[in-house]
């Protein structure tokens, strides 16, 4: 799917929770996608390939958390 939408997806990664803090609230996996622009995200969300995948995949999950954010640099 990402290959088809490569023009709008800047980065894509997935992984399983390995935290020892036990703060995952039952979430076990992460799917992360980064987009150059808000318009790119909107194009991705509306694309028929994404919609077909999401409708099939999401229905097989117990719960889902979606977070859209604009990265911010924090000085520590």
Q: Is 44 a catalytic residue?
A: yes
Residue 3 pLDDT: 62
Task: Identify the active-site residue in 25, 29, 44, 50.
Answer: 44
Q: Once rounded to an integer, what is the mean pLDDT over residues 14-21?
A: 92
- Token couple for 10: 């800047």
- pLDDT bracket for residue 24 (50, 70, 90): very high
Q: Does the structure show a pLDDT above 80 at 18?
A: yes
**For the segment 28-61, what is each residue's pLDDT rounded down to a tens digit?**
988 888 888 888 889 989 999 889 988 998 888 8
User: 8: closest CA among 37, 40, 32?
Assistant: 40
> How many other CB atoms are there within 10 angstroms of residue 17's CB atom?
13
Per-residue pLDDT band at 12 (split at 50, 70, 90): confident
Is 25 considered catalytic here? no
């Amino acid at each position: 799917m990402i290959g088809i939408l490569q023009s709008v997806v800047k980065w894509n990664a997935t992984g399983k929770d390995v935290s020892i803090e036990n703060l995952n609230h039952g979430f076990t996996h992460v799917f992360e996608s980064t987009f150059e622009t808000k318009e790119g995200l909107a194009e991705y969300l509306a694309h028929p390939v994404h919609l077909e995948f999401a409708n099939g995949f999401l229905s097989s999950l117990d719960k889902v958390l979606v977070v859209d954010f604009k990265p911010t640099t924090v000085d520590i």
